[in-house]
Amino acid sequence: MAQGIHLDRANFCCSICLDLLKDPVTFSCGHNYCMVCITDHLDAQDDRMIYTCPQCRQKFMQRPAVVKNNMLAFVVGELMKIETPAIPPPPPSPDFDEDQTEHVACDFCQEKAIKSCLQCMVSYCVEHLRPHFEVAPLQKHKLVEASAQLQENICPRHQEVMKLFCRTDQQCICYLCSKDTHKGHNKVSTAAERVERQRELQATQQHIRKTIQDKERDAKWFQQEEDTINRCAEAALRNNENTYNDLMRIIEKSVAEVKEKVTSRRETEVRWYIKVREKLERDVAELNRKDEELKKFSHTEDHTGFLIKYPTLASLSESTEPPPVKARRVGYFEKVSMALSEAKVNLRAIVGEEYAKVSMTVTGVITSNTKEEPFTRADFLHYVCQVTLDPNTANAHLKISGNDKMVTLCL
């Protein structure tokens, strides 16, 4: 029969110990448990006189009776027969690393153990574990993954397996502790407490996963903001460089125009002065020649000849009018230098003022993008606004005054 029907192991597991049902019994509400598991669960609730089903949480004012389910026991037995030959441990995964797993030796042969029994407090290899599947009394024992920490399940005071959990003291206890130091406390089986803690663990895991999703979303948002800041900063730097180049071209063009005008003016002035100087130099040469002639004429001994030639020579001694000469200017192009100095001062003031405004906008952009909290008084003043209080909606013990901007507590 068992070979002709597909049996799902999960459908025949106790919801308390989460293992195959051992000595299955049926609870009053219809749910099935191991005899030992449900008995421990009900024993732990004797002090409260209120009993609940571990699965559906149905409450009973009297201790409910449990009935052995022979049909379910037969089916579980057939299922165990199918699983018995398949005791060897599962094959390791491709990335299995034996050095990273806990190696527990079998207490009989020192081979690697695959299961530990919480009743026997012994770890078994594949061969020595077989009696727990073949011998009926051993089939009721609780098997877990092989562990070297089995001693932690033993009560240090009574040397009994701790199958109960004291919710009052939040610790695992044995049956003798429940009747001694923990008498009257809120106690449940470790399996039932495991179910509760498993639910809490699942809720914690869900909270962690949600927190991870939120933080990943926030990290993605900050990454996008970071990329945006970098992109906008690069654009601002390029714009700053282009603006500087444009200003330099404007200044260079203005400098070239002033240079051209000064050079043209200088050439015009110099040409005029060269022309006048050359005219004066010719006049000087002519006057020197006449001076030599008069010098020779003045030494002649012929009185008659001197008097005859004198009218002609006298006209030679008359000097011609000098050409008009402009008065020398005090400092050529001084106005140009003064204008350039004034332009430099004005340009420096304008550039400083405008770039100060640009710097303020840069600070504002960074503050807004990084969402920094205000810290100083200046930071808080950015959020200043005028508040007007409404006397019609104020509490009876509050007095509004000062143009509806002041409030006083009146008791």
Digit-coded pLDDT (tens) for 148-158: 777 788 888 88
The total of structural domains in the chain comes to 2
Amino acid at 47: D
- Sole residue written with tokens 């405008």: 354
DSSP string for 369-386? HHTPPP-SHHHHHTT---
Is residue 322 domain-resident? Answer: no
Reply yes or no on whether the pLDDT at 95 is more than 50. no
pLDDT over 50 at 317, yes or no: no
122-124 and 115-117 beta bridge pairing: antiparallel
The yes-or-no verdict on residue 324 having pLDDT over 80 is no
> Is there a contact between 296 and 313 (Cβ–Cβ < 8 Å)?
no
Q: How far apart are CA 296 and CA 305, in angstroms?
A: 13
pTM for this model (two decimals): 0.42
**Under 8 Å between Cβ of 167 and 190:** no
In percent, how much of the chain has pLDDT > 90? 11
CA–CA distances in Å: residue 58 to residues 167, 288, 306: 20, 145, 165
- CATH classification of the domain holding 75: 3.30.40.10
Of the pLDDT bands very low, low, confident and very high (cuts 50, 70, 90), residue 320 is: low
d(CA 328, CA 330): 7
Residues 6+ apart with CB under 8 A from 386: 405
* Class of residue 245 by CB neighbours under 10 A (exposed 0-12, middle 13-18, buried 19+): exposed
8 Å CB contact between 32 and 15 = no
Q: Which of 88, 89, 128 is nearest to 108 (CA)?
A: 128
pLDDT attached to residue 242: 92
Residue 71 lies in a domain: yes
Per DSSP, helices labelled H in 299-333 are: 303-316
For residues 28 and 80, the answer to whether their CB atoms sit within 8 Å is: no
Is 14 domain-assigned? yes
Query: In the structure, what pLDDT confidence band is assigned to residue 364 with cuts at 50, 70 and 90?
Result: low
In a domain, 390, yes or no: yes
Last residue of a domain, one of 57, 86, 115: 86
- Residue ending a domain, among 86, 103, 131, is 86
Whether residue 312 lies inside any domain: the answer is: no
250 in any annotated domain: no
Last residue of a domain, one of 86, 109, 124: 86
Residue 109 lies in a domain: no
The domain in which residue 396 lies consists of: 382-411
Answer yes or no: is 38 within a domain. yes
